[in-house]
Amino acid sequence: MAEESYLAANGVSFPTMKMDTMFSGQEGDMYCIHGHAGNISRRAILNSLKKITDQRLECQQPISIADFGTADGRASLSLVNEMIDIIQTDLRKEQAVIIYYNDQPMSDFNLLSKVIHGNEESAGLSINNSIYPVMIPRTMYEQCLPDNSLDLAISSVATHYLSKKVCHIKNGICMGTADDTEQGLMREQGIEDWRNFVISRGRELKPGGFLITMNISSNDIGETCLPIDKGVPHFASFWSDMKKEGLITQDEYIATNFNSHYMRTPADFAEPFSSDIPEVMGLGLELVSLRSVKHYLQKPVFQIGNKDDNEKLEYSRETVAMIYPWMHHVLYGGLSKKRTEEEKERIIDKFFSRLQMYAFEHSAHKPYLIFTEVIVKKCQRHDVK
C-alpha cells in the first residue's frame, strides 16, 4: 500500500520524519535508543570504583577513568558525575580526576565538548579545579593511552561496531541476513576486534584496575535485540523492497551495510580468556563476570497494552526516533555519490516512513535489547597465578 493511502486509511497524518543524522544534542538520540544502557552497569561500576579508591587512600596520583565509544558523552554523564563525587568524598576534596572520552576520529567532538560544558538544561560535567576532561579521537580497537595509566575503563553499546568492513552483504544490509560465508567473515572480525579491545584496555589499565562493558549481543538462549517486531533483518528488508521498486539501484543496495556484529554470545566475550591467549595471561587479566541482560526500553508508550490510534502514532514515532540515529548513516553510506543531497534525504525519508508505518501496525510489540555485561580485572602482580 502506498504511504499516502495508508495514512488516509488509518485516519492519521504523519509529520515529515525529518531529523538530524547523528547525536544532535536534542532530546532523543541515544536516550531514545536504549535509555542509557551503561547505567545498567552502575552497581558494578561503582563497586569497582570503591575497590580502586580503597587501594589509593595514601596516594596523591590522579584517578583516571575512560569511556570508550562515548558518542556525545551524554549517556555516561550522570554516572561520571556520580563517580567524581564519590572519589572526591572518599579520598579528598581536591583529588585530581582525569576523564578520558574516546570515540572514532570522525565523531562530533564539538558536540561532546558542549555536553561536557553544559547548557541551560544540563549542568554538564562537574568540573572543578581538579577535574580534567580529555578527548581521544582514535579507534578503541587500538591502545589509546600509555601502559599502566588507567584506573577504570567503561564502554556501553559500542563494541558491536566492527573495526572494518569485511564483506558486502548480498542479500540484505545487516548480519542477520548475511549468508554463511559473510557471517563467518563478520564473526572472525568480531573475534579479532574484541581481543584487540580487551588487550588494549589490559595494557592501559593499572594493576588493580577494572574494565566494565555493556555490549549489544545475543544471549544463551539465542535471543537477539528486538527494537521492533521481527527485529533488524525485517525492517532492513524495506531497503530490498525499495531496490525491487527501482527507488535505489542494485549497486546502492549492495553498498549498504550495517557493519556491526550484534549477535556475539556470552561465550564470544569469554573467548580471549578461554583461549589462553599469552598476552591476556601475561597482562594478568582476569574475567570477573559475564551477565546477560534483557533490557525492555522504558518509554511510557512502550508499556501500554491496547493502544488507541494516537498511542500507536506515538509508538511509531518513538520507534523511528530509536532507530534513526544509528540507521541513517548506514543507508546514506550506500547511496550513490552522484545523487544530490535532496534526493538522498528523500529516499531515506521513504525508508523511515515505511518503518514508521510498520511500527504503527505492529505496536503491540514491547521493544527490548539484549546486552552482555563483561567485567575484567587487571590483577596486581602478586595476584597473578
Residue (52 or 158) nearer to ligand SAM, CB: 158
Residue (44 or 71) nearer to ligand SAM, CB: 71
d(C-alpha 27, C-alpha 367), whole Å: 19
Residues 6 or more apart whose Cβ sits within 8 Å of residue 311: 301, 304, 363
- The residue among 232, 239, 129 whose CA lies nearest residue 175 is 232
Q: How far is the CB of 163 from ligand SAM (least distance, A)?
A: 5
Residues 6 or more apart whose Cβ sits within 8 Å of residue 59: none
Residue (6 or 31) nearer to ligand SAM, CB: 31
Q: Are strands 368-378 and 205-216 parallel, antiparallel or unpaired?
A: antiparallel
- 50, three cell numbers: 570503591
Residue (107 or 256) nearer to ligand SAM, CB: 107
**Residues near ligand SAM, by CB under 6 A:** 30, 37-38, 69-71, 75, 102-104, 107, 139-141, 156-158, 161, 163, 326
Residues 6 or more apart whose Cβ sits within 8 Å of residue 362: 228, 229, 230
Q: How far is the CB of 270 from ligand SAM (least distance, A)?
A: 22
- 257, three cell numbers: 551495510
- Give the number of residues written for the chain: 385
Residues linked to residue 285 through DSSP beta bridges, in sequence order: 378
Q: How far is the CB of 90 from ligand SAM (least distance, A)?
A: 26
Q: Quick one: CA dihedral 117, 122, 124, 127, positive or negative?
A: positive
Q: How far is the CB of 120 from ligand SAM (least distance, A)?
A: 22
Residue (140 or 374) nearer to ligand SAM, CB: 140
Q: How far is the CB of 54 from ligand SAM (least distance, A)?
A: 27
d(C-alpha 168, C-alpha 333), whole Å: 13
Q: Which residues of 174-194 are buried (b: 16+ CB within 10 A; e: fewer)?
A: bbbbbeeebbebbbebbeebb
Residue (140 or 236) nearer to ligand SAM, CB: 140
Q: How far is the CB of 65 from ligand SAM (least distance, A)?
A: 14
Place of cell 544532535: 24
Q: How far is the CB of 68 from ligand SAM (least distance, A)?
A: 6
Residue (78 or 240) nearer to ligand SAM, CB: 78
